Structure 1
């Protein structure tokens, strides 16, 4: 089994976090912008490229704040993801200069992007859901664990 690295952006402004809006058979769900690391690419390069592809914005990459594993056989979609193992690196990012650029290569299930109030995150279907409880800590500069384990 191959383990995949992924770099994700946590972009916050005015007590909101920027997420990609996606759709599947169960309705809308939200993800942090980012995706798989390509061979020869640093994690910073990965998250920068993925933000252009998914949200159409150039970002400044800040600190690594969380590492999350997703081992598919341990979660709700184990029948589909049983062989999937991904390690995700979450970086605080800021948009360099907001523009009207369209995402250059959104994921197939992506239908848009949305700023979601941190206090409302529990009302959304977000993956990984466990990560949302640390968003308020980021806003108030309170410490959170970096390694979060195999969470969804």
Structure 2
């Protein structure tokens, strides 16, 4: 008799707003040292005040620009946050996942790129990645071009650009 693998369903990825997430979930997520490894601008601990300020700042982007960061769910469970933020004339995409959900990054990125392609306001996406990020093959396979190293708030980042038009 041949061994048969159990059928595995693909996890459902959904975007929702950050105020819909329990602040304790975000505190635990952003307090994980594995997350901080790749976030040079993350310099202090997270508490209820930090989360409230963070969510308010991200919601202000939605009010100002009509777009911003989402809470990301996999099968209705919070796995991280990410989305688009206006930086001058550019739309920068950021993604911060819980360590146990790092493997979902490519699927989430594809869903976000599909969103950008459908949104005529976003002719291209930029990505700012810390130099600690070594596995950049997915961005290159998508066609993102390396622009160069830039300084942002006193930290060095690798900047990539992906045309969506």
State the TM-score bracket (shorter-chain normalisation). under 0.3
Report the TM-score when normalising by structure 2. Answer: 0.24
Relative to its length, the structure with more strand (as a share) is: 1
Larger radius of gyration: 2
Report the TM-score when normalising by structure 1. Answer: 0.26
Greater RCO, 1 or 2 (C-alpha within 8 Å, sep 6+): 1
Relative to its length, the structure with more helix (as a share) is: 2
